[in-house]
């Protein structure tokens, strides 16, 4: 009697085991090891890895015998750890739930459960500056930039406002989900505007330096104005001092003339 037949006979006495699920995000083309980290009873009938609760990937029998589903031949390897399997060259169609169960005369028990999500690389992004509105005065400089971050199928726009050397983003840094489930986001980092396209396994970005579009403000005009006020104060003080000294000298001379008379 084959081990697949034994497994079928035991379905009627299946007992539910622990339902803990480990979620794993994988990059398309990578390999994934599915581990069994709990002890397996010595007197077991079969240990089975299933895909989406319907497809038997691997069946282990006592004595070390194992059988692999024909569709996965060449794509499954067996690490040193007992009852663990390695899935090779993952594709997006491999996304799903993988569960290992042990069957004994007393019933079935879940050993491990993984929710695997396979993602391909995200597409490149392009950050463009749509408009620039800048105003420079003697006391300050302001600049508004409107930018658009684009992928092949999605785009998101945002406006940044800079006053003197301090910049902020209107509306915050709310990311937007693309049709593929990736995240598209525009945000401010130091003196750069960053456009980021990412999922859980890959990312791409583009950026623009704000000073290349907004004229820098160093306060030189304001500084000059302050210097001019300072000079005016010095001149006024000096003139006043001269007038006071002249008045004292004049009074002194007049008293001398009165004495000689």
pLDDT one-digit tens code per residue, 66-117: 899 888 888 999 988 889 999 999 999 999 999 999 999 989 999 999 999 9
What is the structure's pLDDT at 128?
A: 95
**Is 176 inside any structural domain?**
yes
Q: Nearest CA to 34 among 67, 82, 1?
A: 82
Q: What is the CATH classification number for the domain harbouring 9?
A: 2.60.40.10
**Is 158 inside any structural domain?**
yes
pLDDT tens digit sequence for 17-51: 456 899 999 999 999 999 999 999 988 999 999 99
Q: Does residue 133 have a pLDDT over 60?
A: yes
Same domain for 101 and 173? no
Pull the structure tokens for residue 42. Answer: 């010595």
**Is 241 inside any structural domain?**
no
102 by Cβ neighbours in 10 Å (0-12 / 13-18 / 19+) ranks as: buried
Pull the structure tokens for residue 62. Answer: 């006592």
The full DSSP string for 167-227 is: EEETT----EE-TTS-EEEEEEETTEEEEEEE-SS-EEEEEEEGGGTS----SHHHHHHHH
What distance in Å separates the CA atoms of residue 154 and residue 151, rounded to the nearest whole number? 5
What is the structure's pLDDT at 20?
A: 85
Our CA angle for 104, 107, 113, nearest 5°, is 90
Contact between residue 47 and residue 66 where contact means Cβ atoms under 8 Å apart: no
Mean pLDDT along residues 163-172: 84
**Is 239 inside any structural domain?**
no
Q: Nearest CA to 104 among 36, 46, 61, 48?
A: 46
Mean pLDDT of the chain: 81
Residue-number span of the structural domain to which 83 is assigned: 3-119
**Is 97 inside any structural domain?**
yes
Pull the structure tokens for residue 148. Answer: 């658009």
SS (H, E, C) 42-100: CCCCEEEEEECCCEEEEEECCCCCEEECHHHCCCEECCCCCCCEEECCCCHHHCEEEEE
What distance in Å separates the CA atoms of residue 233 and residue 227, rounded to the nearest whole number? 10
Tally of domains in the chain: 2
What is the structure's pLDDT at 46?
A: 94
Pull the structure tokens for residue 241. Answer: 């001092």
Same domain for 100 and 131? no
């Amino acid at each position: 009697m084959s081990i697949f037949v034994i497994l079928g006979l035991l379905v009627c006495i299946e007992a539910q085991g622990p339902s803990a699920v480990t979620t794993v995000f994988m990059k398309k083309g990578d390999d994934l090891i599915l581990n069994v980290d709990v002890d397996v009873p010595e007197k077991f009938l079969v240990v089975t890895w299933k895909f989406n609760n319907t497809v038997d990937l691997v069946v282990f029998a006592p004595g070390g015998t194992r059988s692999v589903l024909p569709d996965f031949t060449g794509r499954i390897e067996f690490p040193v750890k007992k009852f663990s399997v390695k899935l090779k060259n993952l594709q997006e169609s491999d996304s799903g739930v993988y569960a290992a169960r042990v069957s004994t005369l007393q019933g079935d028990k879940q050993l491990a459960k993984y929710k695997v999500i396979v993602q391909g690389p995200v597409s490149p992004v392009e950050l463009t500056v749509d408009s620039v509105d800048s105003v420079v005065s003697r006391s300050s400089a302001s600049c508004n930039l409107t930018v658009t971050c684009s992928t092949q199928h999605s785009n998101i726009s945002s406006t940044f406002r800079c006053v003197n050397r301090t910049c902020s983003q209107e509306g915050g840094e709310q990311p937007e989900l693309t049709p593929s489930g990736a995240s598209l986001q525009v945000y401010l980092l130091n003196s750069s505007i960053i456009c980021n396209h990412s999922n859980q396994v890959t990312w791409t970005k583009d950026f623009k330096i704000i000073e290349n579009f907004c004229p820098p403000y160093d306060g030189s005009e304001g500084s000059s104005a302050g210097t001019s006020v300072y000079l005016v104060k010095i001149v006024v003080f000096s003139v006043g001092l001269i007038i006071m000294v002249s008045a004292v000298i004049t009074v002194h001379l007049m008293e001398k003339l009165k004495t000689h008379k």
